[in-house]
């Protein structure tokens, strides 16, 4: 181990504990692999069991608190997290590479989500329904599920864990959290904020380690009543089958192949700007990142030229540097996957217009950097038009009309987010009706959604529940329909 580097522990029953495995994993900075952010526990089954039993024991009292009382813990956590923004954001950038500005923004988003759900503790969680019997009282009440397992990806290591934890907790559940191995130090700092806020022992637990071991045990554990998962389709489908096999509730938020449509009525400068930012920010590692630009032929060449001009201006570098627009991809696995997808695009006959290679010289010598990459002459059936690459790779596709652009946009197994650039209301209305995606925008980036709005996708992007806002109550509670006869 690198001397002086911190070893981070699991949080179980309100205590920081090492794994009985005696093994730790180095969290490596993708911008400079010589920088080890910290060591995290490579936990084994015993730690998951201890965490689940702690959460189960804590549930009995946590559920009896009022929503207002639970909300106070979230409010205090938000205040503490806000004070620690600089530290948490820097840790996030060092662990997964996004720019410090994005990491600060994401941490602020986590603070805002906590405050939103703190307020949820004082909002209605059921309804009175007029009974046909004048002497009866008929109403619904939402009750917590119990211990919930939260399995998180590495690309939004604050916003996504918080948008799972906050609703889970405010509605009365207790949690066992699994962060991605790549961003576990950031996760430790998150749960430190809950602990510092005084949250009772066992209400929040964090167990780090291999997803296929720790995550898998959580999915199969009989005392874990629900699993909220965000990650790849490959893993999500495994989780769904395991949860279903034992009757546990589950929600999945997974991949995307998000299109923007550019019509001849678009503001092409704005369209090019937001297409490049939507596809290249975070090195394209957002589930809602733009990966396809479907452009009506009348404006195709002009739009293409504007996109090329803007992509050439992108400064790739260490996310801690203020002038960096795009950092490294998050890991060596990511690097290999993105480069392999680019090679597939070339081999299938698409035209590589910009980028396509790993950056290895000078400041890039010790990191996982991929050039901003643009493909032209992309056929809708090609791999790079169909499959999620999760990197800084944008595919340009040409359409004869808006109608054909919508056919191309919907010709995908994913349906997470989309955007259209046009100033014509008739085109907007057609797009709203025809676009098969859970989150659609007009004249905006395909990524990002306000925290009070439902977040989720259609088709294979999701298990068709929604996260965030009041939608989260649907997953993290069960409905009781009550009839009281006088």
Ligand X SMILES: NC(=O)c1ccc[n+]([C@@H]2O[C@H](COP(=O)([O-])OP(=O)(O)OC[C@H]3O[C@@H](n4cnc5c(N)ncnc54)[C@H](O)[C@@H]3O)[C@@H](O)[C@H]2O)c1
**Residues assigned a catalytic role:** 253
Q: Is 150 helix (H, G, I), strand (E, B) or coil?
A: strand
Any contact of residue 180 with ligand X (CB under 6 A)? Answer: yes
State the number of binding residues for ligand LB4VBGO6 (CB under 6 A): 8
Q: Please provide residue 433's backbone torsions phi and psi, each rounded to the nearest 5 degrees.
A: -75, -35
Q: Pick the closer one to ligand LB4VBGO6 by CB: 85 or 174.
A: 85
Q: Is 134 helix (H, G, I), strand (E, B) or coil?
A: coil
The alpha carbon of 479 is separated from its chain's Cα centroid by a whole number of angstroms, namely 27
Any contact of residue 156 with ligand LB4VBGO6 (CB under 6 A)? Answer: yes
CB of 425 to ligand X, least distance (A): 30
CB of 143 to ligand X, least distance (A): 26
Q: Cβ distance 279 to 258 under 8 Å? A: no
What span, in angstroms and rounded, lies between the C-alpha atoms of 456 and 461? 8
CB of 418 to ligand LB4VBGO6, least distance (A): 12
Residue 449 interacting partner from ligand X, ligand LB4VBGO6, none (CB closer than 5 to 8 Å by kind): ligand LB4VBGO6
Element containing residue 434 per DSSP (H, E): helix 425-434
Rg (CA), the chain: 23
User: In the window 322-381, what residues touch ligand LB4VBGO6 (CB under 6 A)?
Assistant: none
Q: Please identify which residue in 65, 108, 449, 478 interacts with ligand LB4VBGO6, judged by CB under 6 A.
A: 449
Element containing residue 53 per DSSP (H, E): helix 45-62
Any contact of residue 155 with ligand X (CB under 6 A)? Answer: yes
Any contact of residue 390 with ligand X (CB under 6 A)? Answer: yes
Closest CA to 307 of 392, 416, 431: 392
Any contact of residue 155 with ligand LB4VBGO6 (CB under 6 A)? Answer: yes
Residue 212 interacting partner from ligand LB4VBGO6, ligand X, none (CB closer than 5 to 8 Å by kind): ligand X
CB of 287 to ligand LB4VBGO6, least distance (A): 4
Q: Please identify which residue in 92, 145, 177, 239 interacts with ligand X, judged by CB under 6 A.
A: 239
Residue 216 interacting partner from ligand LB4VBGO6, ligand X, none (CB closer than 5 to 8 Å by kind): ligand X
**Whats the size of the chain, residue-wise?**
486
Q: Cβ distance 277 to 311 under 8 Å? A: no
What span, in angstroms and rounded, lies between the C-alpha atoms of 219 and 57? 19
Any contact of residue 255 with ligand X (CB under 6 A)? Answer: yes
Per-residue x/- track, 442-461, ligand X (CB under 6 A):
-------------------x
Any contact of residue 219 with ligand X (CB under 6 A)? Answer: yes
Scanning 84-230, the segments in alpha helix (DSSP H) are 85-96, 100-120, 159-170, 184-196, 216-220
Any contact of residue 437 with ligand X (CB under 6 A)? Answer: no
Q: Is 452 helix (H, G, I), strand (E, B) or coil?
A: coil
The alpha carbon of 5 is separated from its chain's Cα centroid by a whole number of angstroms, namely 28
- Structure token pair of residue 458: 């259609």
What span, in angstroms and rounded, lies between the C-alpha atoms of 483 and 5? 59
The structure tokens 């479907």 sit at 294
Q: Please identify which residue in 447, 461, 462, 463 interacts with ligand LB4VBGO6, judged by CB under 6 A.
A: 447
Scanning 281-401, the segments in alpha helix (DSSP H) are 300-312, 332-347, 383-386
User: In the window 264-293, what residues touch ligand LB4VBGO6 (CB under 6 A)?
Assistant: 286-288
Any contact of residue 183 with ligand LB4VBGO6 (CB under 6 A)? Answer: no
Any contact of residue 290 with ligand X (CB under 6 A)? Answer: no
CB of 277 to ligand LB4VBGO6, least distance (A): 12
First to last CA, the chain: 69
Any contact of residue 444 with ligand LB4VBGO6 (CB under 6 A)? Answer: no
CB of 414 to ligand X, least distance (A): 9
Residue 316 interacting partner from ligand LB4VBGO6, ligand X, none (CB closer than 5 to 8 Å by kind): none
Closest CA to 447 of 315, 325, 328, 276: 276
Closest CA to 315 of 246, 388, 364: 364
Which residues lie near ligand LB4VBGO6 (CB under 6 A)?
Answer: 155-156, 286-288, 447-449
Binding site for ligand X (CB under 6 A): 151-156, 178, 180-181, 211-212, 215-216, 219, 230-232, 235, 238-239, 253-256, 287, 388, 390, 416, 461
């Amino acid at each position: 181990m690198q001397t002086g580097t911190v070893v981070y522990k699991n949080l179980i029953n309100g205590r920081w504990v090492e794994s009985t495995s005696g093994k730790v994993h180095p969290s490596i900075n993708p911008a400079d692999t010589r920088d080890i952010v910290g060591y995290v526990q490579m936990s084994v089954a015993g730690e998951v069991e201890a965490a689940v039993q702690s959460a189960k024991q804590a549930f009995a009292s946590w559920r009896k608190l009022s929503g207002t009382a639970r909300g106070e813990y979230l409010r205090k956590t938000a205040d503490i997290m806000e004070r620690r923004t600089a530290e948490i954001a820097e840790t996030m950038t060092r662990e997964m590479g996004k720019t410090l500005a994005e990491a600060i923004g994401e941490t602020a988003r986590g603070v805002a989500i906590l405050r939103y759900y703190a307020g949820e503790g004082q909002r209605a969680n059921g309804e009175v329904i007029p009974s046909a019997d004048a002497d009866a009282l008929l109403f619904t009440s939402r009750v917590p599920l119990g211990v919930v397992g939260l399995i998180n990806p590495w690309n939004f290591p604050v916003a996504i864990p918080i948008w799972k934890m906050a609703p889970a907790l405010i509605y009365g559940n207790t949690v066992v959290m699994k962060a991605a191995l790549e961003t576990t130090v950031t996760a430790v700092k998150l749960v430190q904020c809950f602990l510092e806020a005084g949250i009772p022992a066992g209400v929040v637990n964090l167990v780090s380690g291999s997803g296929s071991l720790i995550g898998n045990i959580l999915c199969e554990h009989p005392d874990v009543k629900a699993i909220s998962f965000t990650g790849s389709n490959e893993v999500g489908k495994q989780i769904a089958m395991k949860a279903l096999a034992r009757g546990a509730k589950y929600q999945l938020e997974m991949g995307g192949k998000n299109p923007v449509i550019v019509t001849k009525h678009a503001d092409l400068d704005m369209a090019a700007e937001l297409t490049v930012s939507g596809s290249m920010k975070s090195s394209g590692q957002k589930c809602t990142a733009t990966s396809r630009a479907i452009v009506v032929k009348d404006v195709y060449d002009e739009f293409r030229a504007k996109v090329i001009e803007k992509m050439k201006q992108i400064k790739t570098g260490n996310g801690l540097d203020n002038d960096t627009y795009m950092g490294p991809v998050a890991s060596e696995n990511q690097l290999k996957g993105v480069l392999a997808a680019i090679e597939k695009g070339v081999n299938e006959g698409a035209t590589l217009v910009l980028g396509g290679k790993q950056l290895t010289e000078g400041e890039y010598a010790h990191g996982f950097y991929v050039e901003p990459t643009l493909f032209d002459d992309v056929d809708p059936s090609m791999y790079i038009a169909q499959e999620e690459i999760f990197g800084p790779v944008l595919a340009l596709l040409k359409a004869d009309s808006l109608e054909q652009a919508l056919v191309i946009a919907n010709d995908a197994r994913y349906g997470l987010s989309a955007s259209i650039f046009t100033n014509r209301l008739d085109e907007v209305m057609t797009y709203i009706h025809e676009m098969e995606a859970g989150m659609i925008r007009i004249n905006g980036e395909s990524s990002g959604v306000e925290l009070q709005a439902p977040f989720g996708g259609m088709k294979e992007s999701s298990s068709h529940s929604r996260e965030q806002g009041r939608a989260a109550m649907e997953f993290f509670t069960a409905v009781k329909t009550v009839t009281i006869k006088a």
